[in-house]
Structure 1
Amino acid sequence: EWPAATNYLYLTYNGDFDDIIFEKKRKVIVLGSGCYRIGSSVEFDWCCVNMAWALKERGFDESIMVNCNPETVSTDFDVMDKLYFEELTLERVLDIYEKEEPEGIVVSVGGQIPNNLALKLAKNGVKIIGTSAEDIDRAEDRSKFSKLLDELGIKQPKWGKVENIEKAKELAEKIGYPVLIRPSYVLSGSAMNVATNESQLKEYLTKAAKVSKEYPVVISKFMTNAREVEVDCVSDGENVLIGAIIEHLENAGVHSGDAIMSIPTLTLNEAIKNKIREYTRRIARSLRIKGPFNIQYLVKDGEVYVIECNLRASRSMPFVSKTIGVNLMQVAADAILGKKIKDGEYVPNIFGVKSPQFSFMRLEGVDPVTGVEMVSTGEVAGFGKTFTEAFVKALISSGVSLPEPGDGVLISIGEDKSKIIDIANKLVSKNMKIYATEKTSEELKKYGIESIFVRKVSEPRPNILDLLMNKSIKMVINIPFSNGLISTQALDDEYQIRRKAVEFKAHVVSNLQAAKAITDALDFYHKNGIENYVEFAE
């Protein structure tokens, strides 16, 4: 053995002495995001590292990181003044806090794990830098936050607190199916589900109760055909700086971590955006937010509804910072230290599009379809002078292989097949070869669209599987049933199409809005070269 000159630190029980000297300095502890997993990845690590650096620039002698991820920047040996490579639990963080005697702990940049510790740390005498633990709880506790919105007169989907299964059934009937089951204090939509009937309600409530044992589960109306919008902001308790208003490409129902996001927005008029700005500032001031935060909204029929508010940095903040050219962690560092920030909003001069990356091939048997619980394992951003340019760059960067003229595209629609007609016509005009399952093929024929009939995976061969194996299909558009009134066989047929497509490297699109955007973008992709970011910035 030999002495290590790095700043990696570990705690131990029953030790007689420390290996280092603990000096009296201005110290601050930043809690990291823990090991990478679905829902928590390098985006939060970027926030942690940039916050720690920003605090060091503002006069602290030591920025101390507590994290346990061996494959990330915050745990590199030369990034922090000190790194405690330890678990992010109450007991361990309290041990470090007592040893280091810092001015406080930052819990607002490492995702959900630090946020979940805030209230317990505060009850044990820890100084939380930024938004207070009590105010974090008012946002994280679904029931408390929904009551706050009611008090403020801010619209939200109809909701109710779940007390037991029978009350939940009554509530769901009163609200009207479909309903969304929403646990408190969770990241990536864990155990969040859309129930379309009583049987699903019971199943999903059982799952949610296991994930959210200490905190209430809320049922709210699931609003179909609504747009989803979110804001990434910083507040000093009074002034609110909006980094960006972000619109999802897909309609509501796709988790924000899996959604394709656009800055600036795509469909919102100025009146809607002004309502979002107003709600954002009222909520921030009511919750006394001091630091970074994110609010998610629904927009339907000209009305704005609040989904949730996260009093922490979101996974989209690095993307927003890159798009607007301003590091939001620098702004947030001033806010959490009690300094005043400007009230306003950044206006981007380019389009930024965030596209998710998935690892379905590494997860055996997983259904490659998106929903309210996050399944992506990464994301990339594309930038351009138009949405289409940025979108194409983001898709290609995320590993999507777009179809060329003459390539095969399989279309299989579960519900209203007429919705695919416009998309199919455009694909034909781009010289794509259209394959379709029986009912979809019949629907296309009614509108004069020629397609090649192909059997489902469960039907006699040759079928879809043979075409995928032969690489005859480059892209699969499969829009699943969503009303819950479907046979087990039909559900399995849809799953088999999506799963086999992934296994044979055909791009799967399971959302109508994404299918339309990709179809519209093919002309740009086929006719234009792709600049890299440096070329674009110049």
Structure 2
Amino acid sequence: MIGQAAEFDYAGAQACRILKEAGVNVVLVNSNPATIMTDKALADEIYLEPPTAETIKRIILKEKPDSLLAGLGGQTGLTIAMQLSKDNFLKENNVRLLGTDAEAIDRAEDRKLFKDTMNEIGQPTIPSEIANDVATALEIAEKIGYPIIVRPAFTLGGAGGGVAQNAKELEVIAKTGLDMSPISQVLIERYIFGWKEIEFETNLRALLAEYGYSLPKVINLLDPHASRRAPAVEAKVRTRKPRQVKVYKNPHSGEVVETKGGNHRALKEWKAKYGSDTVESWLTK
């Protein structure tokens, strides 16, 4: 399993827990020491190292796993899995990809393959084309019209992309995107800022209700243990009782001390000199 960032903590931690329950030896690679995913209870072997292709290769050669789960580690996990798959490293070491396979990752990450897939199923897409160099990007932009958004392939969070209002801006953004994309590929797409946005959660709730489901039911399907967890205990408001004033009278000097907490300086001196039990016997009320 390749972990990568805090937002994948829940998914990765749940995967580790399920695999452990199934008796699978879990080898975890995660560069984030703050995540609970790196707790010894969740993985058998833990590597707090930068998730790179070379790091994963070294760990695979050492641990000799039979499978790799990369779909829960964000873009880093997917990118590394594709690199190891394309150079035949996984096949040569008898490691199979669990969950999302290489072909599915490619279809989702490669801009051209994704667009082709949408066309195959008749799903409308925004006017766009693939470019592997700046000159092609400029030609595509002239054809579909500005403003243009540049979407690099296989980058973290769309890094290297941006919006261009004209050819001069596009030239700079396209070059950056091509440099950052590991396969030197960008999608040149018409920018649709200002179009109507659809609230996903509202539509999801309506769709679930149509089939007699609710979000809590879906959560229980995804995480069967969720409903077994003890409900959160409401914090009780605790009223603090006022402390009683205590009065001590020193029979030797006749001095009187009034205190609530017992931290009076004179009282401490008396206890040090005569002993706590003796001073407590001087309590008058």
TM-score by length of 1: 0.37
1: CA distance, partners of 2:114 / 2:77: 19
Pick the structure with more strand per residue: 1
> Which position in structure 1 is the counterpart of 2:219?
325
Amino acid at match of 1:88: P
1:49 aligns with 2:20: no
Amino acid at match of 1:328: L
> Which position in structure 1 is the counterpart of 2:81?
118
Q: Give the alignment partner of residue 120 of structure 2, picking from 151, 157, 174.
A: 151
1:203 aligns with 2:172: yes
Alignment of 1:161-240 (within 5 A): 161-228=130-197
- CA shift at 1:323, angstroms? 9.3
- CA shift at 1:158, angstroms? 0.5
1:84 aligns with 2:22: no
What is the RMSD computed on CA atoms of the aligned residues? 3.1
Q: In 2 relative to 1, CA 228–105 (structure 1 residues): closer, same or farther, beyond 3 Å?
A: farther
Q: In 2 relative to 1, CA 42–188 (structure 1 residues): closer, same or farther, beyond 3 Å?
A: same
> Which position in structure 1 is the counterpart of 2:68?
105
- CA shift at 1:160, angstroms? 0.7
> Which position in structure 2 is the counterpart of 1:382?
none
Instruction: Please state whether the residue corresponding to 1:155 is helix, strand or coil.
Output: coil
2: CA distance, partners of 1:174 / 1:222: 14
Q: In 2 relative to 1, CA 323–329 (structure 1 residues): closer, same or farther, beyond 3 Å?
A: closer
Q: In 2 relative to 1, CA 137–72 (structure 1 residues): closer, same or farther, beyond 3 Å?
A: same
Larger Rg: 2
1:119·1:134 contact (CA, 8 Å) conserved in 2?
no
Q: Give the alignment partner of residue 73 of structure 1, picking from 29, 36, 40.
A: 36
Superposed CA offset, 1:85-107 (max 9, x none): 22312222122223223230100
1:139·1:145 contact (CA, 8 Å) conserved in 2?
yes
Instruction: Indicate the larger mover: 92-101 or 115-124.
Output: 92-101
Any gaps of 5 or more consecutive residues in structure 1? 1-29, 34-40, 230-245, 248-262, 275-319, 332-532
Superposed CA offset, 1:3-59 (max 9, x none): xxxxxxxxxxxxxxxxxxxxxxxxxxx1111xxxxxxx42212211111111222x2
Any gaps of 5 or more consecutive residues in structure 2? 226-231, 235-285
Amino acid at match of 2:152: P
Pick the structure with more helix per residue: 2
> Which position in structure 2 is the counterpart of 1:508?
none
Q: Give the alignment partner of residue 130 of structure 1, picking from 79, 92, 99.
A: 99
Q: Give the alignment partner of residue 264 of structure 1, picking from 199, 202, 206.
A: 202
**Greater RCO (Cα-Cα under 8 Å, separation 6 or more):** 1
2: CA distance, partners of 1:162 / 1:323: 44
2: CA distance, partners of 1:164 / 1:94: 31
Alignment of 1:399-410 (within 5 A): none
- CA shift at 1:534, angstroms? 7.2
Alignment of 1:510-529 (within 5 A): none
2:161·2:174 contact (CA, 8 Å) conserved in 1?
no
Superposed CA offset, 1:417-454 (max 9, x none): xxxxxxxxxxxxxxxxxxxxxxxxxxxxxxxxxxxxxx
Instruction: Please state whether the residue corresponding to 1:200 is helix, strand or coil.
Output: helix
Alignment of 1:359-398 (within 5 A): none
